[in-house]
Structure 1
Amino acid sequence: MTDMENPSTENLPYMPFLLGLVALAGLIVAVSTVFDTPKPDYEGTAVAFVNEVPIPETGYLRALSMLEQDKRGPITDADRIRILDLLIEEELLIQRADEINLIGIDSSVRKSLTSAMIQFIISENGDTEITDDILNSHFLNNLDYFTPSKQIWVKRIYVRGARDDAEQRLQQIRTALQQGENFDTVATQLGDEIFPEIPNSLLPPSKLQAYLGPALTQTAISLDEGAITNAIRVGSGWHFLYLVQQRKGVVPEFDDIRDQVENDYLRKVEEKALRDYLDWLRERADIDQTASQLQPADF
């Protein structure tokens, strides 16, 4: 077996670090090429130049720090040489990718760069101030979002519209229900099977819709507890709905869901930061959509 087929264990600690450099390359390409602007003169200390493009000492030291966290033992001169070689080769790959317009011809690269840019934009908001007062205000301004939805328990009797005796069957069901007969008994004796069956439990409207569909779910939500509808024609048949029980959503205590409130607040801060950044990019760009014959999106 050759050395190429059996890599030494000495090189293995460098693999996570090398993969990290490859991941970071996407962000570097994004910053340097997406804006399509000339690279500014570098005024800091550079450890090398690749086609007159500097490799900053700060990036070199950061790479050494990454290796130090990954490697067992102290950093050696050989490590320093290897790190510099990796950074030089990374820069060569990035410059070649730019040279052959890899961003323009490879959709996977574009997606990776888009993701890298989004993370870069979001990371700039890492020092967002978060206090209990801010979170409590966010909680109070979004009570509907943090309050669990109403839950309802609904039963149904279904009659196929294609039955020859559909009208007669509907009248029999009406009469039985008006006389106070048990809803389940009437469903078993006079109703037709329909799948999926509604669970015998409280469900939020979002889940109930999977069984009833949007129109019947809206009707069920509007019912008072204990109410039974007349026959409702929806789809291929008739439906009688019975609201067995309902439970209104209760506003939780802030302290009980503080982490949830904080996560939602940060999500909205990040969304706003991204939206503001994209708006800024649009303002500074020359965008011509006349060839597409489509109207610009309304943001």
Structure 2
Amino acid sequence: MTAFLSRAAVAAGLALLPCIALAQTPPADAPKADAPKPDAAKADAAGAKLLATVNGQQITEEDLRVAREDLAANLPPQLQGKARDAYLLDFLIDGALVAQLAKSEGLDKTPEYARRLAYYHEKLLMEAKLGQIAKAALTDEAIKKTYDDALKAQKPEQEVRARHILVATDDDAKKVIARLKAGEDFAKVAKEVSKDTSADGGELGWFSKDKMVPEFADAAFKLDVGQMSEPVKSPFGWHVIEVEGKREKPFPALDEVKDQVSRYVVQKAQSDAVTSLRKNAKIERAPGAPSASDETQVDDAAAAAPAPAPAPAEEKKK
């Protein structure tokens, strides 16, 4: 388990930093559990509010909180508040009934149960410690330093803002150019004849060279601002391109990528801690046990697999 954590966390963390500049705002994390509100008049011996008893077994508000945290990612987003807690309480009641039946049949005495109990015991301890490490690592100073390091490492990259009109043949493209040179509005002509209906008036916005097919990108990046291309052939047809602007690709503001930077800070702190533990531990693999070389063979096989088909024009441009 710890070996997997080490490799997965390191890979995820180290892969994240150079991608910050390209990242969209990530989705919000699952909601945290609401803090319980103890009711001294109805509290059990541990001080938690008693919610139900199942054949004498107590279910408290603390049990509900644990279930809420554990199942948050799997609950329908529309299930909130009292309706969510009612659902979870029924879940705990049903779980207690089934567990009581299993225990009466001796399932808690089996070797399989013991193995799983030991596994989840270590898993919960691991998660608790990694949570401590994450809390200690996630400071404003660490987030700012990580962002600043990524900003310094960002290599200058040019972007172009352009419009295009996509038609079926070279002759069609030349007719488009003739209309534009005669003074017709580019956006108007694009709306009338362009095969690319996803680009409003031919507008493509800002893009770097790697976001377009090579034939299109080479032509667009050679043009000056305000200049229009001759017909350009690509796998999608014939293009007439007009460049509206050029700039160095901007780095996103910290507020735009703070969640992603925070995850990187946490992942790096956790992976560093596990790496340190592995370095100072005596770990002996039994003969024939799975090892990192097995993962390398899988990675090599994946790398040798055929490349996927190119994206459609609409996806390639965006």
TM class by shorter-chain length? Answer: 0.3 to 0.5
- TM-score normalised to structure 2 length: 0.43
**Looking at CA atoms only, which structure, 1 or 2, has the larger radius of gyration?**
1
- TM-score normalised to structure 1 length: 0.45
